[in-house]
Structure 1
Amino acid sequence: MSKKRHSGADDDKEKTVAKKRKRPCGLTMLPYEIISTIFIQSSNPSLPIVCKALYQQLYYCPDTLKIAFLMHRTKNDPEKALEEASRFRFFSYALMERLDKMTQRTVMFCNKKIPSRLFLAEPTETLQERDQLILALLERGASPNRPKGYPIIKSALLGRLDQVKLLVSFGADPTAQNNMALRACAGRNNREMVDYFLDELKVKPDSETLKVCVQKNLWDMFQLLVDHGAIPDMSTIAVS
Structure 2
Amino acid sequence: MKDGLKLQRLSKSCLELLPVELLYEIQLYALSHSLPCTSHSLHVIFKFAPSSFRAEYIFLRSSGSSENLYTKALRYPLCSLDVLRFIKLQSRNPITILELPKRLFRDLGTRRASSKWTDQDQPLPFIRDLYTAGFSLDLNSINGYALTKAVQTEFYALVKLLLDKGASPTYKDNLAVRVAIRRKDLRMVKLLIERGSGEVHKRRRLEDRMKVSKELLKLAVKCNAQDLVDYFTREKGCVPDMQTLYLMR
Corresponding position of 1:8: none
Does residue 170 of structure 2 align to residue 175 of structure 1?
yes
Does residue 235 of structure 2 align to residue 208 of structure 1?
no
1:177 and 1:18 map into 2 onto residues whose CA distance is: 52
- Choose which of 109, 125, 134 in structure 2 pairs with 1:132: 125
- When normalised by structure 2's length, the TM-score is 0.72
In structure 2, stretches of 5+ residues that fail to align are 112-116, 196-206
Aligned ranges 1:96-135 → 2 under 5 Å: 96-100=84-88, 102-103=89-90, 108=95, 110-119=96-105, 120-121=107-108, 122=110, 127-135=120-128
- Choose which of 214, 237, 240 in structure 2 pairs with 1:229: 237
Over the aligned positions, Cα root-mean-square deviation in angstroms equals: 3.5
Corresponding position of 1:141: 136
Does residue 60 of structure 2 align to residue 90 of structure 1?
no
Q: 1:46 to 1:230 in 2, by over 3 A?
A: farther
Corresponding position of 1:4: none
- When normalised by structure 1's length, the TM-score is 0.74
1:143 Cα deviation after fit: 0.4
Corresponding position of 1:164: 159
* Identity %, equivalent residues: 25
In structure 1, stretches of 5+ residues that fail to align are 1-14
1:66 Cα deviation after fit: 1.0
Aligned pair count?
Answer: 222
Is 1:214–1:239's contact at 8 Å kept on the other side of the alignment?
Answer: yes
- Choose which of 186, 192, 196 in structure 1 pairs with 2:187: 192
| Counterpart residue type for residue 163 of structure 1 | L
Specify which structure has the higher proportion of helix. 1
Look at both structures and tell me which one has the larger radius of gyration over its CA atoms.
Answer: 1
1:194 Cα deviation after fit: 2.2
- Choose which of 35, 43, 49 in structure 2 pairs with 1:55: 43
| Counterpart residue type for residue 229 of structure 2 | F
1:171 Cα deviation after fit: 2.4
